[in-house]
Amino acid sequence: MSFMDKRKLAVPVAALASLALVGSALAAKSTPGRPTVKTGGVTHVVGTSGTLNGSVTTRTLPTSYYFKYGPPPGYASQTTPVNIPGSAAPTKVSATVTNLLPGDHYVLVASNSAGVAEGKPVTFTVKKKSSFVLPKSFEATVVGGRFVLSGTLTGADNNDRQIVLEETPYPYRLPYADVGSIITTSASGSFSFSVPDLRTSTKFRVATVGSAPIYSDIVPALVEVDVTLKVRTAGRKGLVRLYGTVAPAEVGAHVLIQLERPPKQPKAPTSSKPEKTEKATEKERTPSFATKFTTIVKHATRSISRFSLVLTVPQSGEYRAFVELAPGPLISGHSQTVALHAGPSTKKKRKKNG
């Protein structure tokens, strides 16, 4: 017989062996004997009460079952025994219990005239209550910009859950009110809200819809003024005019012209905690700014105000305009940086003339 012939014969032989095992298992269930037991899960949990579930194969004999539960190994409590008729097929069974505490074990026990059988013990655990997970920090939103709040609802029944965004604007004295429409969480509990045209600093929170709502932590969405900065030559060599706008109008606000300082080189980790090291490294990599000149916002229209100053650039680099505001519905803001080149120094001029 060739090798290929042997392989052709091997497949039917294996299939026949599998069918024989299935047949013997069915025959065993149809033959009177000690019951087969499987402990299942817990449903309808409310406080310390719930329904214990399982299945019993009676092996055709009338059988009695009960659950025992409590701290292992003694199991302080058990349910009232229940009789079920004999059958070859598995029978689903259940019992409602009270005083079931997290960490308790429970097990299904069944007996008939052929003997007693126990299922595997199961530990009772309580699913974590639903809660919102949101980002820990948010960048300020430029006035009139879009604020996006994304997060996840965790815990039991977190999927396809109706939720709503609520707000209270500065000075945060009004009760929270719904923003926009109700949305539904995804299959994994994730969600995202979008608030267009945000004009004032606002506190947000997310809430589930229905009785006994769950609330997220408060999320402060700070709104900063919109600042622009432009540069042009001032007519004399070495002088430039810096000018820009502030929206909304903020007449009298201080404008700081700041030079960007390059970030420091990251130092070697000094902490064994990765999160602490990561925060320190991120801080070192963030550029800082040194104030070189100041002016104030003078001219205004209904929607914007303007500032302007003429200066000699002391040092080449990237500059920005930072507008300082007192605490209020808007916070201080800054422009994008512009590249400026240093003008000729007075000392160099004197040496050239001498």
pLDDT the model gives residue 346: 44
- For residue 307, the domain's CATH number is 2.60.40
**259: helix, strand or coil:** strand
Looking up tokens 């700070």 gives: 222
Run of H or E including 308: strand 305-312
Confidence tier at 52 by pLDDT (50, 70, 90): very high
Which pLDDT score, from 0 to 100, does residue 88 have? Answer: 83
Residue 110's nearest CA partner among 55, 69, 71 is 55
Over 60: is that where the pLDDT of 11 sits? no
Of 71, 98, 123, which residue constitutes the final position of a domain? Answer: 123
In degrees and rounded to multiples of 5, residue 15 shows phi and psi of -65, -40
Residues 306 and 286 in one domain: yes
Q: Which region among 52-56, 98-102, 281-285 has the lowest average model confidence (pLDDT)?
A: 281-285
Residues across the chain: 354
Residue 217 lies in a domain: yes
| CA distance linking residue 11 with residue 14, whole number of Å | 5
Considering the domain boundaries, does residue 3 fall inside one? Answer: no
Q: CB of 305 within 8 A of CB of 246? A: yes
What confidence tier does 24 reach under pLDDT thresholds 50, 70, 90? low
Its pTM stands at 0.59
Closest by alpha carbon to 158, among 128, 188, 195, 180?
A: 188
Question: 48 and 33, same structural domain?
Answer: yes
Q: Which of 169, 198, 223 corresponds to the end of one domain?
A: 223
Residues 257, 291 within the same domain: yes
Element (DSSP H or E) covering residue 111: strand 105-112
Q: Are 204 and 236 in contact (CB under 8 A)?
A: no
Residue 290's SS3 state is: strand
pLDDT at 314 over 60: yes
pLDDT recorded at residue 19: 46
- Asked if 240 and 264 sit in the same domain, the reply is yes
Euclidean distance between CA atoms 167 and 206, whole angstroms: 9
Tell which of 90, 123, 156 closes a domain. Answer: 123
Q: What is the pLDDT of residues 322-331, one digit of tens each?
A: 999 999 999 9
Looking up tokens 């902490």 gives: 271
**Pair (177, 252) in one structural domain:** no
Q: What's residue 208's pLDDT?
A: 95
Check which CATH number belongs to the domain holding 44 and give it: 2.60.40.10
The answer, yes or no, to whether residue 278 has pLDDT greater than 60, is no
Q: What are phi and psi of 253, to 5 degrees?
A: -70, 145
Contacts of 141 (CB under 8 A, 6+ apart): 147, 198, 221, 222, 223, 224
Shared domain for 250 and 198, answered yes or no, is: no
Q: Does 87 map to a domain?
A: yes
Which helix (H) or strand (E) element contains residue 13? helix 3-30
Q: What is the pLDDT, as a whole number, of residue 79?
A: 96
Cα 50 from Cα 126, distance rounded (Å): 11
**Would you state the pLDDT for residue 6?**
47
Q: What's the mean pLDDT in 38-47?
A: 87
Instruction: Give the pairing of strands 305-312 and 63-70.
Output: unpaired
- Structural domain for 84, as ranges: 29-123
- Does residue 156 lie in a domain region? yes
137 shares a domain with 54:
no
Closest CA relative to residue 149, chosen from 196, 86, 90: 196
Burial, 319: exposed, middle or buried (Cβ in 10 Å; 0-12, 13-18, 19+)?
Answer: buried
Contact 129, 148 (CB under 8 A): no
Question: What is the DSSP-derived secondary structure letter of residue 217?
Answer: -
Q: Tell me the percentage of the chain whose pLDDT exceeds 90.
A: 64
**Pairing relation of β-strands 226-227 and 239-247?**
antiparallel
- Please report whether residue 178 resides in a domain: yes
Lowest mean pLDDT among 2-11, 62-71, 262-271, 307-316: 2-11
Amino acid 340 reads: L
How many domains is the chain built from? 3
Query: Could you give the maximum distance between any two Cα atoms of the chain, in Å?
Result: 122
Query: Is the pLDDT assigned to residue 39 strictly greater than 80?
Result: yes
Residue pair 244/230 in contact (Cβ under 8 Å)? The answer is yes
Same domain assignment for residues 240 and 338 = yes
Indicate the range of 115-119, 194-198, 279-283 predicted with least confidence. Answer: 279-283
pLDDT digits (tens, 9 = 90+) for 144-191: 999 999 999 998 778 899 999 999 999 999 999 999 999 999 999 999
Separation of alpha carbons 133 and 171, rounded Å: 26
Q: How high is the pLDDT of residue 25?
A: 52
